[in-house]
Amino acid sequence: MSKSDSKRQVILESAYRLFRAQGFGGTSMADITTQVGGSKATLYSHFPSKEELFVECMMAALENYMSDTLKHLDASRGDPTEALRNFGASVLNFICSAEQVEVRRLLIAEAARSGTGKLFFDKITALRSQVSSFLAACMASGLLRRDDPDLAADHLGALLEAEILEPLLLHVREAAPDEKETALAARRAVAAFLRAYAPAAPAIKAASGSDAHLRRVPPHEL
């Protein structure tokens, strides 16, 4: 890591702590400079505005995590069931953690107020496009029926989040789900998704028995 990169890292970490403790409105670039040390000019050379710094530090953990998690999605391996389950459970484990739920609340609270929403959305879209690429590859090889891969990625994401996220965001439940729970939610989401995006009937016949998973779901996942 270069000196500049490590400085950037220190800024991101300090800003993250301050934003989480004081909110976006309650934290100034001067506060962050005081916390990090050095000059305001240095801070601005790394991040041209408070908005951009906010978005960067709120998204940094998610982007780091996702770069590993997206490795589950390897279209060259054929049957996407396992890959999607592992990917889904891994995403849920992360976004349902107490810290990430709090970050998401802060994002939603600030997005409309400070106009940072578009910046967040662009980052989320960039992550989603990697899921779309995987789904597009599955469609190209006949493992999934052809449709808009971005739409399919939205549908997959919605199904994954369906069971657990809202009660956490609304603080109806506090405890983050354990791995058993996220794995089960991911299995059910992926089962519904794969049925919905199963190739049309002739393709299923042509693919012989290997696609049975697309249509038959074991009772415990129902």
Partner 1 sequence: MKTKTESKRQAILQAAAVVFREVGFERASMSDIRERIGGSKATLYNYFPSKEKLFFEVMHQAKELELEAITGELDADADDLKRELVRFGQKFMTVLYSADAVAVRRLAIAESRHSDIGRLSFEQATLPIEKRVAEFMRKAMKRGNLRTADPKIAAIHLLSLLESELLQRVLLGVIDTVKPESLSGAVRRAVDVFLCGYERR
Residues of this chain that bind partner 1 (CB under 8 A): 102, 104-109, 111-113, 115, 117-118, 120-121, 124, 151, 154-155, 157-159, 161-163, 166-167, 169-172, 188-189, 192-193, 195-198, 215, 222
Report the interhelical angle of 50-69 vs 29-36 (nearest 10°). 60
Judged by beta carbon, residue 8 or residue 181, the one nearer partner 1 is: 181
Q: How far is the CB of 198 from partner 1 (least distance, A)?
A: 7
Q: Which is nearer to partner 1, 34 or 121 (CB)?
A: 121
Which residues does 103 contact at the CB level (< 8 Å), separation at least 6? 20, 58, 61, 62
Shorter beta-carbon distance to partner 1: residue 10 or 207:
207
94 near 62, Cβ under 8 Å? yes
Taking the complex as a whole, how short is the minimal distance between the CB of residue 206 and partner 1, in angstroms? 17
Helices (H) and strands (E) in the chain, counts: 12, 0
Pick the closer one to partner 1 by CB: 53 or 153.
Answer: 153
